[in-house]
Amino acid sequence: MRYLKWLLDRLGGRRAGQVVIAVALLLALPSLLSPLSMDEYVQAIRWQSAVEHPTGGGVPRFLNDCFVFASGDEMANRQEIQDGLGAWWPAPDFKVAFWRPLSAATFAPDHALWQGNAVLMHLHTLGWFAALLLALNALYRRFLPSPVATLALAL
């Protein structure tokens, strides 16, 4: 019981939320050292296509199709298999598509301003992560008791 009181006193402190945010950002800092992944290369190709060929849908199409990894179109899937980009084992009409226009909109400045620079791209992502944590901290503190708000933020 004594430890629970000690924990609640720490979670209820004025700066507890800021400490949680600092620890979260510190734990995420190693991402700055990671190279670009395959998804980021695919998104870069899609961004370049959207900018160079606006008649094909341009930026609005990029925002809608940034996270389409398999369209469900049998001919397109076969072509990706032949090009070495698609897997041969799923069904011919395999579809993996996520509609995330806000996430895609955060990739646009990455590809427009820091094309290929993984450190700056990941730093930009960490900035969005910090903004999200600050907003959550404010929201939780408004509606929850301080120790519960800090615990929710940490989780």
Per-residue tens of pLDDT for the chain, all 155 residues: 787 778 777 777 778 899 999 999 999 999 999 998 887 888 888 888 888 877 777 888 888 888 888 888 888 888 878 887 777 788 888 888 899 898 888 888 888 888 888 999 999 999 999 999 999 999 999 999 988 899 899 99
Q: What is the pTM of this model?
A: 0.77
Look at residues 57, 52, 58, 44 and name the one whose alpha carbon lies nearest to residue 110: 44
Annotated domain spans of the chain? 7-34+118-155, 37-115
Cβ-contact 29, 125 below 8 angstroms: no
Q: Residue 78 and residue 124: Cα distance in Å, rounded?
A: 36
